[in-house]
Structure 1
Amino acid sequence: MKRNVPRVVGGTGVAIGELPFICSIRQRQPAGSWSSPSWTHLCGSTIVNENWLLTSAHCVAPPLPKESLLIVCGVRQARTVAGIEPSPEYVDGQRGSDLALILLKKPLVFTGNVQPIPIFDQRILPTSVATIVGYGVSSYGKDGWQPNGLEAATVPILSMKACIRRLGTLATYLTSDTICTDIAGPTGAAGTCVGDSGGPVIIGTELHPFNLLAIPAWTVTPCGSGPSMHTLVSAHIEWILAVIVPNLK
């Protein structure tokens, strides 16, 4: 069984400022108002520059009313949304191209707690590992999946051949822009789950410890029982640049 809108199960807590490039997308609930809002975490998002964030398209498409969304970065930077640009190739969360760009009404102010992340565009080595980061649910209790702040976990990156073998019949949902991470951790069950979509999948290099490799798309359920699939950001770099740099031809 699979589902999109994936959270880091089996991860460890992350201190404010340790990973300053992730923001929370929050959705206003019907009971709330702008004068007395009630906001619920919807998905993560990743800072591309001071005006644009990258997230999973299934978090915001078909485009949610931008007036119903609030972006929270770092400790105190909250921003409303000016526009949402899903990938033109996006169909749904299981057929690839699961990316969307979010334009902020007011630019972010970069501080120690709020920073952009460079996009990884190198070859992924067979022994590579990645770090998954998210705000979603982290454990299952009597009331269902329970949220628990920002968490991260280091997981192996699977080859496409190994991913196909692990997924079985679900492998039909793999696309050319998908990368696959395995479960890992002390309990053997660290992976993405509900609420993690949109946050970064990170890979380190000699030059920079944090680089944006991918954005979570969907995962095998129950969470932590099988691989997680992510949209490779470098496969969509031309679209990203065309949107955030309008003069680029």
Structure 2
Amino acid sequence: MLVFLAVVPPIAHVQYTRCARAQEREEKVTCVPQASIVPLPPKPPPRRTDQLSSPQTTAAKHLALKKTHITSIMDVADQWMLEYLPGFLPDPLPQLLHEHVLHPHAYVQVLKRKAMHLLARLFNAAYPFLSPVADRLARALHDSPDLVVLAALLVALAAALQVLLYVRRVVAWGVRLALRMAFWAGVVALGAVVWRRGLEESVRDVVVAGGKVAGYAAAIGEVWMAEYRRYEAQTQRVAQAGAGAGARRQR
């Protein structure tokens, strides 16, 4: 009995103390005004790593898109060749073309893939250096439209000059070709005449033709000399008349 009386009061005091503290906490929570409770802002959703964008990732995406576009264009060209060339080529050639040129394991395709890989590496190496220069150039051209107009005029003038030079070269080539064709046509015609009439008759004809040409040339020379003498005489008469008129005026 004594033990019970000694143990029960401390336990009851502890239980009472716990109940009092719990009641105080409940009262504090219930007495807090609703206006003082500020709701916390909602947490933003976590950003996906594939949505992160930076200049490096953007440039890499552009390079990948360009490579894919070029590869698709080349594949379309190969497919077009496989579909449409057999209609224009004889029977053995399309098969040979497919086996030795268009087949993925053909040596030409291997070289093409190596060349494209090398060009891609060169482009990737040069892109970081060329891109800022191109951006600055585009910005400078955008800021100065007068220079753009002047450059466009100069380019148009240079293109027109190149076209005119090309036309001149084509015309000169055509004239040379026509002269050569006329010369060789004359040689062929002369050979045909000699073959048909014989060597002696041809020589006689040449001598006769030469004599006639010489006679015509002599006649033309005589006419020219007569006209020249007449011109000289007329000039002398005009000079003498002028000298006589000057002498009469002095008197």
Give the TM interval when normalised to the shorter protein: under 0.3
- The higher radius of gyration belongs to 2
If each structure's strand is expressed as a fraction of its own residues, which one has the higher value? Answer: 1
Greater relative contact order (CA < 8 Å, ≥ 6 in sequence): 1
